[in-house]
A = this chain, B = another copy of it.
Amino acid sequence: MTIDYVHGYSELESRRLGDQANALAALLHGGTSYPAGSRVLEVGCGIGAQTAHLVASSPGARIVAVDVNEASLAQARDRVLATSPDAEVEWHCADLFELPFPDASFDHLFVCFVLEHLADPHRALVELRRLLRPGGTITAIEGDHGSVLFHPDSAHARAAIDCQVRLQALAGGDACTGRKLQPLLANAGYGGITVRARPVYADQNLPELVEGFTRNTFIAMVESVGDDALAAGLTTPDDWHRGVADLRRTAEAGGTFQYTFFKAVAVNGS
């Protein structure tokens, strides 16, 4: 069984990625702002969910966004045009391992929810360092599915989440990348590494996060792999439906949901 990209490219998935980016913008991107004139490369921009926030928080930065998928890139272009009509983003369709840029041509790299989908994130980080001027920074953001925690707890819900973890592994990725950012960056030769946990906690007193994160980001993400999980024999229809139903209870009154993202910043040089 081959799965290129665990989340797929459907319209529903595009909406999910947009919801996720909006609900989490302050949490994930707080503290990330690049000076006017600086050359910033976003690697694996996908449908531009994060690009829109990058552009908004770094007016005047010269942002270059790259993705391997032409259709995603077209969506990204539309999204940024809609939110920041005056922004001048340079778009490139290219593979992360064959980026058409000279050495040391960027001041900053931004890599969000990308390493988790790569079979060899180490090689990617080494490659990317080539593009960074000495003293330039890389910002990497990843989730970690080992951090999921909810009430009421449910073995079925955990098994449903585990289906996504296993599908992502079958596709060569790793849904538990967040905890590994520090050693990944250190082993790829970066210095001055700081990693910080950025948790999302939602209960009924935080209805926007329940809606924007628990329901429309996390549960939607798990639900979207149902057909693949069944096709791969990782679950049965009954177990799957019970797992999803139990997950949904965590977004009801009295339920709680918690997930931790990790944000790393490191320097090319020591």
A residues contacting B by CB (< 8 A) are: 144, 146-147, 149-151, 153, 176, 179-180, 182-183, 186-187, 193-197, 199-201, 203-205, 254-256, 258, 260, 262
Contact = CB atoms under 8 A, between A and B. Distances in A.
Contacts of A187: 254
A30 to B, nearest CB: 15
A182 B203 contact: yes
A209 B195 CA distance: 13
A67 to B, nearest CB: 28
The residue in A144, A183, A187, A262 that gathers the most chain B C-beta atoms within 10 A of its C-beta is A183
A256 B180 contact: yes
Contacts of A196: 201
A194 B205 contact: yes
Number of chain copies forming the complex: 2
Nearest to A151: B179
A179 B258 contact: yes
B182 A260 contact: no
B199 A256 contact: no
A258 B150 contact: no
Contacts of A194: 205
A116 to B, nearest CB: 14
Contact of A182 (B176, B183, B197, B204): B204
A196 B203 CA distance: 10
Given A149-B146, A149-B179, A195 B201 contact: yes
Given A150-B179, A182-B205, 20 more contacts: A144-B149, A144-B258, A147-B258, A147-B260, A149-B176, A149-B179, A151-B179, A153-B179, A180-B256, A182-B254, A182-B256, A183-B254, A183-B255, A194-B205, A195-B201, A195-B205, A197-B200, A197-B201, A197-B260, A199-B199
